[in-house]
Chains A and B, each alone.
Chain A
Amino acid sequence: MITRRYVIRRIIYMAITFFVAITLVFLLPRLAPGNPVLIILLTKYGGIVKPQQLKILESELHISGTLWQQYISFWISLLHGNFGPSFYYYPQSVSSLIITHIPWTFFLLGTSTIISIVLGVAVGSYSGWKRGYSDSFLQSFSIGLTAVPYFWLALIFQLVFAVLVVIDGTHILPVAGAYGYFVTPGFNYQFVISLLKHSILPLATLVITSFPGFALLMRNTIVTVLDEDYVLQAKAKGLSLNTIRKSYVNKNAILPVATSVGLAFAGIVGGAFIVEEVFSYPGIGYLLYNAVTVYDYPLEEGIFLIIVIVTILANFAVDLLYAYLDPRVVLK
């Protein structure tokens, strides 16, 4: 049940998590042994940074003044949505870079999470209801898939679709980028088709490696719930199989899956980032990869903060959904 008290509590947790994450990002570079931001800057960019760049950096990176002053000015610019300038893409700001790239990540993350949950729940409940031969097959299959690392699967797809299966010099499926070189972004047919085609392999990688977790969880809870006394009573009541399935089994079995979505999401984020790297998919994971290779620290920091915010909000949404699904939640 969603009550005001519950929502307020979740918001407080959310704020705490957010606060901790931000403080972490602030402190890390400053606490790292002998490695304050400036030293990183000078060693990594010693000869490259232009003097006027360095000056802007100093003020915008909050590396002057006492730790407290730095911390406060850090928060102030954060609250203004200002993550400072990027080193590498200077003078572009971190915020503008993130804004141009993040829709792609949202697309990948959102679509793959939803498909994974739907597929996982479907396969898992089939398996749990069926039992017997097809159940053990699906179980072994899912366990096998959970062991496959997504970056490796992404590389396999690359190898297969970029070089091994090329018919008459054309690729069956695109292996890089988010849309074709010759289409113009917008609401036109070519663009949408190109977009979908480009997303197939990245999405496949993410879905194949994340849905088995949901499937296994769903299967096990179905099996547990089927053993519950209230399901026996539902059968004794002479309810139709359909009603039992919908109102008694699935409604209860979905709960652990719903709780796991929040945690799983944090994992899928990692997957999406690496998949973007492999498929040169222009989201913030790809941006982060580039930032790492060129030591663009402000950009890394900005991306980290954004993705933390997104994850925290996603978890908040999941918590609300869970409270909606499980009337007992207020008591916990």
Chain B
Amino acid sequence: MTNVGIDKERMEAVTSSRPTKRFKDFMSKLWKHRKGKAGLIILFGLVIFALIGHFAAPYNPLANNAAAFQPPSHAHLLGTDYIGQDILSWFMVGTGTSLVVGFTIAILSALIGVTVGVIAGYFGGKIDDVLMRAVDVLLVIPGFPLLVILQTFLPPTLETTVLILSILGWPFLARVIRSQTLTLKERQYVLASKLSGLSGMQIIFRDIIPMLIPIITINAIFIAVGGVVAQAGLAFFGLGDLRSVNWGTELYYFFNQDGIAYKAWWWLLPPGIGIIILGLGANFLSNGIFETTKPQKGG
């Protein structure tokens, strides 16, 4: 048999098969990409910020022994809230919670989305029909009201919120993965694997999923951001665990505890800016991953 039909991409994947080396190569490419680098720095910065918050926030965010509604000062760099909690500490700890929320949702959603998408795309037929119909249905039902209904009936904890958001976060990814799988499974090397007697599952794990990693990552990044925003929106609507310290609850208390009347801009700005920075970082990073991993065309 000749090599003629073997895809270049796959060849590369096989020839540099040590995962650590491939990861290193990928990172160095990403680092050279302007936006990719910016994305990495921004997201890494947020994580560091959250870690500092976890271990060394200036105050206990829930200690309320300062005067309420103080504007920023030396003692409280971002001022205090309605019961005298230090806002900087709140924000730092809240960043951690929100990031963990986003990360967990991304992982869980990606697991579901990839499973559904690959199965639908690879096996096709009836399974495909049923799964894709389910995806269509989930995509059409407006997410926020559904979240509200679900959260109403589940215990108001952060865990249930994360669970709900994970269960609702995957349909779009599944659709993307399915169409990618459809093209991948026609590739020469997949057909070769089939001829050599590998089972469907083996082919999926050996030949298909590794090729999908960039696109999964890109989508997972957006799911994470979407998850953070959705959790914040729910908390803002008064749902979920309102005692949890995160960006959403910070906005909830600002709105419901007279933040506006006291003109407490120092209380309102941090969580919004946090979300914006996260969103931009995610956008840059995914753009970087997209451009550094897309197959080179022509030449």
Which residues of chain B (203-249) have a CB below 8 Å from chain A? Answer: 225, 229, 232-233, 236-239
Q: Which of B133, B142, B143, B255 has the most CB of A within 10 A?
A: B142
Q: Number of contacting residues on A, CB 8 A?
A: 55
B67 interface hit (Cβ, 8 Å): no
Across the interface, do A277 and B237 meet the contact criterion of CB distance under 8 Å?
Answer: yes
Across the interface, do A270 and B144 meet the contact criterion of CB distance under 8 Å?
Answer: yes
Cα A202 to Cα B139 with chains together (Å): 25
Other-chain contact of B149, A158, A263, A301 (Cβ < 8 Å): A301
Interchain nearest-CB distance for B147 vs A (Å): 8
Across the interface, do B143 and A292 meet the contact criterion of CB distance under 8 Å?
Answer: no
Across the interface, do A17 and B143 meet the contact criterion of CB distance under 8 Å?
Answer: no
**Nearest CB to that of A292 among chain B residues?**
B238
Across the interface, do A159 and B140 meet the contact criterion of CB distance under 8 Å?
Answer: no
Across the interface, do B144 and A13 meet the contact criterion of CB distance under 8 Å?
Answer: no
Q: B57-65, B115-123, B191-199, B265-273: which lies at the A interface?
A: B265-273
0 or 1 for each of A284-311: is its CB under 8 Å from B? (1 = yes): 0000110011010100110110011001
**Nearest CB to that of B287 among chain A residues?**
A143
Other-chain contact of A156, B137, B150, B229, B272 (Cβ < 8 Å): B272
**Nearest CB to that of A307 among chain B residues?**
B145
Cα A35 to Cα B153 with chains together (Å): 7
Other-chain contact of A300, B152, B225, B232, B236 (Cβ < 8 Å): B152
Interchain nearest-CB distance for A116 vs B (Å): 16
A329 interface hit (Cβ, 8 Å): no
B70 interface hit (Cβ, 8 Å): no
A32 interface hit (Cβ, 8 Å): yes
Residues in chain B near residue A35, CB distance under 8 A: 153
Residues in chain A near residue B148, CB distance under 8 A: 288, 292, 300, 304
Other-chain contact of B237, A24, A40, A158, A289 (Cβ < 8 Å): A289
Residues in chain A near residue B145, CB distance under 8 A: 269-270, 273, 288, 303-304, 307-308
0 or 1 for each of A26-47: is its CB under 8 Å from B? (1 = yes): 0011001001000010000000
Cα A262 to Cα B210 with chains together (Å): 32
Residues in chain B near residue A274, CB distance under 8 A: 144, 233, 236-237
Across the interface, do B140 and A311 meet the contact criterion of CB distance under 8 Å?
Answer: yes
Residues in chain A near residue B176, CB distance under 8 A: none
Residues in chain A near residue B7, CB distance under 8 A: none
Across the interface, do B152 and A311 meet the contact criterion of CB distance under 8 Å?
Answer: no
**Nearest CB to that of A17 among chain B residues?**
B137
Across the interface, do A147 and B141 meet the contact criterion of CB distance under 8 Å?
Answer: no
0 or 1 for each of A266-285: is its CB under 8 Å from B? (1 = yes): 11011101100110000000
**Lowest 6 A-B CB distances belong to which pairs?**
A147-B279, A270-B144, A152-B272, A32-B153, A269-B142, A266-B142
Q: List B residues at the A interface (Cβ < 8 Å).
A: 133, 136-137, 139-146, 148-150, 152-154, 225, 229, 232-233, 236-239, 251, 254-255, 259-261, 263, 265, 268, 271-272, 275-280, 283
**Could you list 18 further interchain pairs (A-B, Cβ under 8 angstroms) beyond the known A263-B139, A289-B238, A292-B238?**
A29-B153, A35-B153, A147-B276, A147-B279, A152-B272, A155-B268, A156-B268, A266-B141, A266-B143, A267-B142, A273-B145, A273-B237, A277-B236, A278-B255, A289-B237, A292-B148, A300-B152, A311-B141
Q: List A residues at the B interface (Cβ < 8 Å).
A: 13, 16-17, 20-21, 24-25, 28-29, 32, 35, 40, 143-144, 146-149, 151-153, 155-156, 158-159, 162-164, 262-263, 265-267, 269-271, 273-274, 277-278, 288-289, 292-293, 295, 297, 300-301, 303-304, 307-308, 311-312, 315
Of the A-B pairs whose beta carbons lie under 8 Å apart in the complex, a sample of 18, sorted by A's number, is A25-B149, A146-B279, A147-B278, A147-B280, A155-B268, A159-B259, A262-B140, A265-B142, A267-B142, A269-B142, A269-B145, A270-B142, A274-B236, A289-B237, A292-B152, A304-B146, A304-B149, A307-B145
